[in-house]
Amino acid sequence: MRKSDFAVWVLVVLAFVAAGTSMINATRSQSAVAANADVYKHLDLFGDVLERVRADYVEKPDDSVLIESAINGMLSGLDPHSTYLNPKHFRDMQVQTRGEFGGLGIEVTMEDGVVKVVAPIENTPAEKAGVMGGDLITHLDGTSIQGLTLEQAVEKMRGPVDTPINVTVLRKGMPDPFDVKIVRDVIRINPVRAEVEGDIGYLRVKTFSEQTYEELKLSIADLKKKIGPDLKGYIIDLRNNPGGLLDQAISVSDAFLDKGSIVLTRGRNLNETQRSNARAGDLTDDKKLVVLINGGSASASEIVAGALQDHKRAVVVGTRSFGKGSVQTIIPLGSNGAIRLTTARYYTPAGRSIQAKGIDPDVVVEQELPEELKQAAKATQPRGEASLRGHLKNNEGESTGSSAYVPKEKEKDSQLKYAMDLLHGLKDEQKKVEVQKEQDKTAN
C-alpha cells in the first residue's frame, strides 16, 4: 500500500473514532442534562412548598429550622445513620470522639425527673468536691432541672474549663438538700478499663475514640507487668460497645495480629475499595484471646471481632452482634456544621458482610436475665440493624439482634465466666470428657 493510501485510511479511521466519541459524549451529555433538569424540577417543587409554608402556616415558622428539617429529612431518608449535624451537634460529636471535655466528672442517669449520680470519675472535680454515687442532683445554679432531658441536664453541667457551677444535691440519710460548688476541669474519658482476673488480663473496651489504641497499649503493658510470666491470656470485652472511629478499630485489631487483612471497605465505585492490613508485631505476644460480644456490640466492635475471628486469633463468645456494617464519613460544611453520610460498606477479612447480619460468636452463651426483665424480653424483639427502618439491605441474608444485657455482678456474668474457663483450658477438658463418654458408649 502506498503511503498516500495509508494516510487516507488512517484519516478515515480517526474520523470514525472521533465521530463515535462525539456520539457517546453527546449521549452522556443529554443524559446528564435530563437528570439535572429532573433535579431542578424537584427543587422548584421544594421552593414552592417552602414559600407556601412561610406564607400560610398558622404560626410564623423559623426559616433556619425549616431548612434544617428539610436537610435532615433528605439524609434520614437514605438510611438510619446518615444525618445533618448543625454547628452545635457537630461540636458535640467532635468532643465525643476526642474523649475530652470541660465538665464535672460524673457518670449520671435520670431517675424520677432528677439526675442520679452513678459514680464520680476518679480524680475529677466532682470526686474532689465530695459528690457520691447515689446522690440526686435537683438544681443547677439554683435552677430546677425538672422537665429537662438527661442530655439537656448534662449539657448544662458541661462548660468552659475553670468556670464554677453550684449543684444542689439530695443525699440519702440527710434531711435537707445542700449545695456543692464545683469548678469545671478537663474531663478525660478513658475508653479502656483493664483489670487483673487472677492470671488473666481483662480489657473492657468501652468505645473507639481517638485515645482507644494508645490506652489499650498502655493497659496491656500494665497487665503484663502486674501478672507476670503466669499470664494465661486476655479477655477483650466489646459488649455494649457502640463503635466509633474506623481507624481506631483497625489499630485495635492490629494490636493482636501479626499479618493479614483487617477490614475491607467498598464504596459505590470500584476505585473506592480499600483494604487495611495488619503490621508485624502482636502486643500480647500471641497469648490466647477471647472476645466477648452481644447485641450491643456494633460497628467498630464488629470490625475487631470479625477480624480476630476470621484469622482464628481469638474465640468469640456471647451472642450475635448488632449488625452495623456501614461506614459514615463526616463532611464539614464550614460554619454550617457537617453531614454524616454513609459512604461505604465494610467486610471482614474473609469477605463477610456484617450489614444487617452481625457477627455470630464461635460459642453462643446466653446471659441469664433477672426476673424483672424476662417479661419485657418476651414482649419485645431484640433490636439490631435489621430492625431499623430504611437500613441498607444485605443480599446475603439478614438476622435479628440479640440481648444486650450484662449483669453488674461478675459472679452472675455467665459470658465472662465462660471466657475465663476457656482460657484456663477447663472447657477443653470438658470437651475431652464428653468425647471420651461418646467413645465409651460406642464401644459398649
Supply the CATH number for residue 140's domain: 2.30.42.10
In which domain, by residue range, is 109 found?
A: 100-188
| Residue 197 and residue 182 share a domain | no
d(CA 265, CA 275): 6
d(CA 317, CA 359): 10
| Residue 199 and residue 174 share a domain | no
| Residue 355 and residue 277 share a domain | yes
- For the chain, what is the domain count? 2
**What is residue 8's predicted lDDT score, i.e. its pLDDT?**
45
The whole-chain average pLDDT of the chain stands at 86
Model pLDDT for residues 37-56, shown as the tens digit of each residue: 778 777 889 989 999 999 99
pLDDT band with cut points at 50, 70 and 90 for residue 302 = very high
Residues designated as active site: 299, 310, 324
Is the pLDDT reported for residue 434 higher than 60?
A: no
d(CA 387, CA 398): 10
| Residue 381 and residue 271 share a domain | yes
| Residue 211 and residue 297 share a domain | yes
pLDDT band with cut points at 50, 70 and 90 for residue 26 = low
314 close to 289: Cβ distance less than 8 angstroms: yes
d(CA 108, CA 125): 15
Residues in the chain: 444
426-443 vs 414-423: helix axis angle to the nearest 10?
80
Question: At 186, which amino acid appears?
Answer: V
d(CA 140, CA 156): 8
**What is residue 35's predicted lDDT score, i.e. its pLDDT?**
64
User: Which of 188, 222, 239 is a domain's end point?
Assistant: 188
Is the pLDDT reported for residue 128 higher than 70?
A: yes
232-249: average pLDDT: 95
Q: Phi and psi (nearest 5°) for 133?
A: -60, 135
Beta strands in 141-219 (DSSP E): 143-144, 164-170, 178-183, 185-188, 192-197, 200-205
CA–centroid distance for 188 within its chain: 19
| Residue 239 and residue 159 share a domain | no
User: Which of 167, 188, 209 is a domain's end point?
Assistant: 188
The model carries a pTM of 0.78
| Residue 307 and residue 262 share a domain | yes
Residue 2 lies inside a defined structural domain of this protein: no
Residue 64 lies inside a defined structural domain of this protein: no
**What is residue 376's predicted lDDT score, i.e. its pLDDT?**
63
| Residue 223 and residue 318 share a domain | yes
User: Which of 188, 220, 244 is a domain's end point?
Assistant: 188
H or E segment to which residue 64 belongs: helix 63-76
Residues of 51-86 as b/e, b for ≥16 C-beta within 10 angstroms?
Answer: eeeeeeeeeeeeeeeeeeeebbeebeeebebbbbbb
| Residue 268 and residue 153 share a domain | no
* pLDDT greater at residue 1 or residue 304: 304
Grid coordinates standing for 9? 485510511
| Residue 394 and residue 316 share a domain | yes
Residues of 136-156 as b/e, b for ≥16 C-beta within 10 angstroms?
Answer: bbbbbeeeebeebeeeebbee
Is the pLDDT reported for residue 280 higher than 50?
A: yes
d(CA 103, CA 163): 9
Residue 313 lies inside a defined structural domain of this protein: yes
Grid coordinates standing for 315? 474465640
317 close to 405: Cβ distance less than 8 angstroms: no
Residue 68 lies inside a defined structural domain of this protein: no
pLDDT band with cut points at 50, 70 and 90 for residue 112 = confident
Residue 327 lies inside a defined structural domain of this protein: yes
CA–centroid distance for 46 within its chain: 34
Beta strands in 79-188 (DSSP E): 83-85, 100-103, 106-111, 114-120, 136-140, 143-144, 164-170, 178-183, 185-188
Residue 38 lies inside a defined structural domain of this protein: no
| Residue 422 and residue 274 share a domain | yes
| Residue 241 and residue 388 share a domain | yes
Residue 348 lies inside a defined structural domain of this protein: yes
Beta strands in 360-418 (DSSP E): 363-364
